[in-house]
Amino acid sequence: MITLIKRPTPSKGWSYATPVVAVLATMVAGGLLFAALGKNPVEAIRVIFWDPLFGANAAYFRSQLLVKAAPLILIASGLAVGFRAGIWNIGAEGQYIIGAICGAAVALSVYPAESAWLFPAMVIAGALGGLLWGMIPALLKTLFGTSEILVSLMLVYVAQNLLAYVAFGPLKNPQGYGFPGSRNLQQYPSAHNPELIAGTGAHWGVMAAIVAVIALYILMHRHIAGFRIRVAGEAPRAARFAGVVPARLVVFCLGLSGALAGLAGLFEVSGPSGQITDSFNAGYGFTAIIVAFLGRLHPLGILLAGLLMALTYIGGDMAQLILQLPAAAIQVFQGMLLFFLLGFDVLTNYRIRIGGARA
**pLDDT tens-digit series, residues 116-126:** 999 999 999 99
Q: Report the CATH number at residue 96.
A: 1.10.3470
Q: Dihedral, CA atoms, 351, 354, 356, 359, nearest 10 degrees? A: 40
Which among 338, 344, 329 is positioned nearest to 309, based on CA atoms?
Answer: 338
H/E stretch holding 4: strand 2-6
Question: Residue 112, preceding bond cis, omega within 30 degrees?
Answer: yes
Q: Rounded to whole angstroms, how far apart are CA atoms 292 and 19?
A: 11
Query: Residue 95: inside a domain, yes or no?
Result: yes
Q: Rounded to whole angstroms, how far apart are CA atoms 208 and 130?
A: 15
Q: How does DSSP assign 51-72, residue by residue?
A: HHHHSTTHHHHHHHHHHHHHHH
Q: Model-level pTM greater than 0.85?
A: yes
Angle in degrees, CA 58, 61, 66, rounded to 5: 130
Query: Residue 51: inside a domain, yes or no?
Result: no
SS3 6: strand
List b or e across 72-82, with b for residues whose CB sees 16 or more CB atoms inside 10 angstroms: bbbbbbbbbbb
Q: Per residue in 245-265, pLDDT tens?
A: 889 999 999 999 999 999 999
Q: Per residue in 205-243, pLDDT tens?
A: 999 999 999 999 999 999 988 988 998 888 888 888 777
Query: Residue 319: inside a domain, yes or no?
Result: yes
Query: Residue 39: inside a domain, yes or no?
Result: no
Q: Name the phi and psi angles at 4, rounded to 5.
A: -95, 125
Query: Residue 350: inside a domain, yes or no?
Result: no
Q: Per residue in 52-103, pLDDT tens?
A: 998 877 888 888 899 999 999 999 999 999 999 999 999 999 999 999 999 9
Q: What is the pLDDT of residue 359?
A: 47
Q: Per residue in 308-317, pLDDT tens?
A: 999 999 999 9
Q: Rounded to whole angstroms, how far apart are CA atoms 308 and 68?
A: 10
Query: Residue 38: inside a domain, yes or no?
Result: no
Q: Per residue in 151-174, pLDDT tens?
A: 999 999 999 999 999 999 999 999
- Count CA atoms closer than 13 A to 217's CA, side-chain side: 11
Mean pLDDT on 168-187: 90
Number of domains the chain contains: 1
- Count CA atoms closer than 13 A to 280's CA, side-chain side: 39
Query: Residue 152: inside a domain, yes or no?
Result: yes
Q: Rounded to whole angstroms, how far apart are CA atoms 304 and 50?
A: 16
Q: What is the pLDDT of residue 356?
A: 60
Residue span of the structural domain in which 256 resides: 58-324
Query: Residue 251: inside a domain, yes or no?
Result: yes
